[in-house]
Amino acid sequence: MFVLGIDPGLSTTGYGLVETSRGVMRAVTAGVIRTDPADQIAHRLAELERDLVGLVDEYQIDEAALETVFVNKNRQSAMSVLRASGVALMVLGRRRIPVTEYTPSQVKASLAGFGGADKQQMQRMVQSRLNLPDLPRPADAADALAIAMCHAQSLRMNRAVERAR
């Protein structure tokens, strides 16, 4: 099963694809999509859509997960993340790919065991659990891999519960 994780952002959107098979998880690809802040927002969103469509079309994705928008004091930043999230949801929805959203603390708790893990702890957990030779970089790509891993674990747990019934 292929699970895509997305860490949405207007300037930088992280993506990470993991494959799970018989309880083993491996990283397939990870990276970031960057847009130019000098471009108009509509053009940046169109670029994000085009790149996400290319990614989704390249792999046979079974499930996807996004980090939910955290609305903090900076409303402009939150608006940018909301816009990028909307584009990602639209691309995945058009392909009928099931999407689940997770809060940052849910992702951290799933991988590190507690919701207060910092970025470097998360990168080390992703590296360790996926047997990567180096820390995954940039941080947005590592976050996206963590989101995909969180969802893959959740799916496995839900299936185990269903089988036990």
Asked whether the beta carbons of 13 and 33 are under 8 A apart, the reply is yes
Mean pLDDT over each residue of the chain, to the nearest integer: 93
Angstrom distances, CA of residue 2 to CA of 18, 26, 149: 6, 10, 10
> What's the pLDDT band for 72 if we cut at 50, 70, 90?
low
Omega before 138 within 30 of 0, i.e. cis: yes
pLDDT for 62: 98
**CA neighbor of 67 nearest in space, from 126, 138, 119, 145:** 145
Show the domains of the chain with their CATH numbers. 2-164 (3.30.420.10)
Q: Which of 12-16, 81-85, 134-138, 161-165 has the highest mean pLDDT?
A: 12-16
Q: What angle do CA 133, 4, 101 make, to 5 degrees?
A: 120
Which positions are catalytic? 7, 67, 140
Q: State the pTM of this model.
A: 0.93
Sign of the torsion formed by the C-alpha atoms of 35, 40, 41 and 47: negative
pLDDT for 61: 97
pLDDT for 40: 97
Q: Per-residue pLDDT tens for 86-144?
A: 999 999 999 999 999 999 999 999 998 888 888 899 999 999 999 999 999 999 999 99
- CA atoms of 165 and 159, how far apart (whole Å): 10
pLDDT for 114: 82
Q: Does the pLDDT value for residue 75 go beyond 80?
A: no
